Chains A and B, each alone.
Chain A
Amino acid sequence: MTSLSREDVAHVAKLARLALSDEDLERYTDQLRAVLDHARDLEAFDFESTAPTAHPFAAAAYLREDVVVEGLDRDEVLNQAPAVEDDRFCVPQIIGDAP
């Protein structure tokens, strides 16, 4: 584990679509570093032989039958949207393609 830099925090903020002022950046870097430093206690343990746990109880998946269930009323859905046009959700111009 390496020490967290301001550049790391700036990069992460960009990935998470958050804007940070210089002051924010300074403060978050210190705070996040404190948490990550605390996490250094994990380094003391040997984990190579331990499998990761993603779910508390790893039962097999619960499956749904392929049968239609009534969905939502479109007006009720679109009423909650910030902007709507032609029964669709409207967003400002997209710069860059989808991955």
Chain B
Amino acid sequence: MTILDGYEMVVGLEVHTELKTVTKLFCGCANAFGSAPNTNVCPVCLGLPGSLPVLNRGAVELAMAIGTALGCSILPSSFHRKNYFYPDMPKDYQISQYDEPINVGGTLELPDGSTVRIERAHLEEDTGKTTHVGASGRIHGAERSLVDYNRAGVPLVEIVSAPDITSAAQARAYAAELRSILVATGASDGRMEEGSMRVDANVSVRRVGDATLGTRCEIKNLNSLRSLQRAVDHEAERQSELVAAGGRVVQETRHWDEVAGTTVTMRSKEEAYDYRYFPEPDLLPLVPEDPWRDRVAAELPALPAARRTTLLALLGEPTPSQRDQVLSVVELGIDAMVTSAVSSGVDPARALSRVANEVAALNGAETLGVDDVVTVLSMEQAGELSATHAKAVLADLVEHGGDPRELAKRRGFEQLDASSLDATIDEVVASFPDEWTRYCQGDDKLAQFFVGHVMKQTKGQADGKAVIAGLASRRSR
């Protein structure tokens, strides 16, 4: 499934991210996911007659952090009303930024070195949540719908890229990198599945070499990075086939059907809304003073690109697969486990490998603490745990929690220190004098024989590499 030869795609992404503030954008209701319906509501976020919005300083600050991280100019801005009727919107207008957004212009550099320009990143309020009741559970064919306004008024930042993206893989890489940045700045938890980060893709195609852009379609309902990549690929293929067959692309909004793997028409341009934007009279212009901007910039934590550079530097001369692992641990936000382990004396390659493989497989960003992972890796580095046992302890940590040393002890993995390993090796060597002689004469295959016996004696607690090293040093004596 891909675009036809001779065509190229032009893609721009609009990413909405919910901000991790304590309260909503314009009122003091809690910004909390999963509360009982209509419990985080007040006159303002219910749009009751007479209520008025008051802007949340914390939300502005997170929006500024996002803008700073994306290299945007942070400018004086204002709010507009976007007018349309929909029951999840309590005032039947959305307060959003229109011609004067807070963050303008910027660049996102992707790990492969390509860059995507950012047009703007502006503040707006989220809508409530509508549940469709009836036969299908979907909007079409529902008998009625139920509205919960807990989410209404939750702060959002919409980040709009320039149409600089030229492949579905690049679209995915952009969204992944952006997500890492949003998580790094503390602005968002970046969870696409829970809807705290939502991506819409504007896709058009043109013949290679054409200067003018083709007619674009907007694709909605992209709930994962995978759906984004698939949907963009599919849409580019659909449009290129349509154009190649002499057809014309109609400007419209299309819905990605994850199961069918296709996009379907939601709304054509003729049905487009007339939003009647006008300046929100209940809010005054927002002017970020220089000291505020400077403080936000100074407090910005290390961003993914810098963190990748740090990891690569630790590795010295990374292999291609290590480069992939670096990408992946930073994308997953578990790279601090690697750097912390390395500063505690763990070998960088070992730390990266454990975190990129075991920790990632255990969904470690959610389930494991940095300190616990560092402890386990340090124990392994010191020979106190074998590789197998280190993995087992990590799995136990995820399942039961607790102290890694305690878990190792309870499992009986404790303490096979260097002296007891030495004693066991001596014992095994003494028990098999013939084999030892042959080994000393150069029959290296026998190393595995001795390792096997050491393992048997230690009930698997010995580190195979340490045993081989012990055998080799005895032979050279």
Contacts and interface: CB of A to CB of B under 8 A. Distances in A.
A17 B86 CA distance: 11
Interface in A60-99: 60-72, 74, 77-78, 85-94, 96-99
Contacts of B344: none
A93 B132 CA distance: 8
A68 B144 contact: no
A58 B284 contact: yes
B267 interface: yes
Interface residues of A, number: 36
Nearest to B87: A91
B57 interface: yes
Nearest to B78: A54
Contacts of B21: 66
B23 A94 contact: no
B42 A71 contact: yes
Contacts of A15: 274, 276
A88 B78 CA distance: 33
Nearest to B30: A68
A67 B132 CA distance: 33
The size bracket of the interface on B is: 35 or more
B130 interface: yes
Contacts, number: 136
A92 B287 CA distance: 42
A59 interface: yes
B46 A55 contact: no
From DSSP, what is the main secondary structure of chain B's interface residues?
loop
A58 B148 CA distance: 35
A87 B130 contact: no
Nearest to A54: B279
A99 B273 contact: yes
Given A86-B37, A94-B87, A94-B142, A55 B30 contact: no
A57 B139 CA distance: 45
Nearest to B142: A93
B244 interface: no
Interface string B226-269: 00000000000000000000000000000100000000001100
A64 B285 contact: no
Given A60-B287, A78-B38, A97-B266, A66 B142 contact: no
Nearest to B147: A89
Given A91-B145, A94-B130, A74 B23 contact: no
Which of A17, A89, A90, A91 is most buried by chain B, counting CB atoms within 10 A of its CB?
A89
B22 interface: yes
A91 B156 CA distance: 26
Given A55-B284, A60-B285, A74-B41, A91 B27 contact: no
B144 A92 contact: yes
B448 interface: no
Given A65-B57, A99-B273, A94 B38 contact: no
Interface string A37-61: 0000000000000000011001111
Contacts of B276: 15
Contacts of B145: 90-94
Given A15-B274, A58-B285, A69-B27, A88 B87 contact: no
Closest 10 CB pairs of A and B: A69-B28, A66-B58, A88-B146, A71-B42, A54-B279, A63-B57, A89-B147, A60-B287, A87-B37, A64-B54
Interface of A: 15, 17, 54-55, 58-72, 74, 77-78, 85-94, 96-99
24 contacts: A55-B285, A59-B284, A61-B55, A61-B286, A64-B28, A64-B57, A66-B23, A66-B57, A66-B59, A67-B23, A68-B23, A71-B40, A74-B37, A74-B41, A85-B144, A87-B37, A89-B38, A90-B146, A91-B147, A94-B132, A94-B142, A96-B267, A97-B139, A98-B130
